[in-house]
Amino acid sequence: MCSAKAYKFETLAVTRPRENVLQVEMNRPDKRNAMNQTFWREMVECFDQISKDGDCRAVVLSGAGKIFTAGNDHLMDMAGVLMSSADSDDPARKAIHIRQTILAYQESFTAIEKCEKPVIAAVHSACVGGGVDMICACDIRLCTSDAWFQVKEVELGLAADVGTLQRMPKIVGNESLVRELCYTARRLLAHEAKEAGLVSGIYPNRERVISAALDMAAKIAKMSPVAVTGTKHNLNYSRDHPVDASLKYIATWNMTMLQTEDIMKAAQAMMAKEEATFSKL
């Protein structure tokens, strides 16, 4: 069983609603789940820990309260960064400090992508700014019928810098739409998000979308963890590399992974018309 007792965070609530499934919930409902400095740090810590948790096989990412997330307060964040670098008058030194801070923010969501377990985002109501960066790093995205998505950064005078501009074009197969959203900061409604491929399912309300995400995670958790981890790793690799290189990579990967005991267990269970039971990683 996947225990959540060891997961203690200030901005995140981690629970185990299903066997081998963890739910990570942004837990600042009174602040509309806005992303503060503690959140940026805890996301890395949380997903690094999940990646190493052999008892966890799938994750659902959700938001507590009335909305999924209002995103990060870039004005406050950048003001803090600029103030902390104000002790130097040299633009180069200021720039190096700001770059280091941005790279640290990026790692907060890259940790989701690098996590060995599939992560399903269950979005309800508003998903703004950093929220879009975050869900673009997830494996699967579901939402409620009243959900909307906004790449808000241009309204604040900056280009999005934590993943949306890099990941969304590879998720949404419409370059024109991606640029429209990023240049105008207009809201993308749920039905548009589904048509564009940003989400794969729409549900009536928060309870239903989280339930659907947990059902999906539970189904994934019953599969071979060796197979699921390998699939996620190679999907990410193939997204960023040519087909020929990706084929060679999966051949090298599977020359070891095809020797897993899970293949025999799966075959035996199929012949017996039973559900296979796999060892943890």
Query: Residue 35 gets which letter from DSSP?
Result: B
Q: What phi and psi values does residue 242 have, to the nearest 5 degrees?
A: -65, 160
100 burial via Cβ count (<10 Å: 0-12, 13-18, 19+)? exposed
- DSSP state at residue 156: G
Q: How far is CA 105 from the centre of its chain?
A: 14
Count of beta carbons in the 10 Å neighbourhood of residue 255: 9
Spatial separation of the C-alpha atoms in residues 81 and 76, rounded to whole Å: 9
Average pLDDT rounded to a whole number, residues 77-82: 64
> Residue 1 — pLDDT band, cuts 50, 70, 90?
very low
Domain ranges of the chain: 12-222, 225-272
Measured between alpha carbons, how far is 166 from 102 in angstroms, rounded to an integer?
14
Residue 84 has pLDDT above 80, yes or no: no
Mean of the pLDDT values across residues 243-248? 98
Per-residue pLDDT, averaged over 90-102, amounts to: 89
pLDDT for residue 35? 95
- The percent of the chain in helix, strand and coil, each rounded to the nearest 5, is 55, 15, 30
Q: Which pair of tokens denotes residue 245?
A: 């290189």
Number of residues written out for the chain? 281
Q: Which helix (H) or strand (E) holds 136?
A: helix 130-136
Q: Is the separation of the CB atoms in 48 and 108 below 8 Å? A: no
Tell me how far apart the alpha carbons of residues 89 and 82 are, in angstroms, rounded to a whole number.
Answer: 11
One fold for 12-222 and 225-272: no
Q: Residue 69: which residues within 8 A CB-CB, separation 6 or more? A: 26, 32, 33, 34, 35, 63, 126, 127, 128, 130, 131, 134
For tokens 């539970």, the residue is 218
CATH of 225-272, one of 1.10.12.10, 1.10.10.10, 3.50.7.10, 2.60.40.10: 1.10.12.10
Q: What percentage of the chain reaches a pLDDT higher than 90?
A: 87
Strands 126-128 and 188-189, bridge-based pairing: unpaired
Contact by Cβ (8 Å): 15, 56: no
| 152 phi, psi to nearest 5 deg | -90, -10
- Over residues 47-72, the pLDDT tens digits come to 999 999 999 999 999 999 999 999 98
Q: Mean pLDDT, the chain, as a whole number? A: 94
pLDDT tens string 150-168: 999 999 899 999 999 999 9
Confidence of residue 79 (pLDDT cuts 50, 70, 90): low
pLDDT tens digits, residue range 118-135?
A: 999 999 999 999 999 999
Residue 86: per-residue pLDDT: 60
Fold (topology level) of 12-222: 2-enoyl-CoA Hydratase; Chain A, domain 1 (3.90.226)
pLDDT of residue 53: 97
- pLDDT at position 89: 81
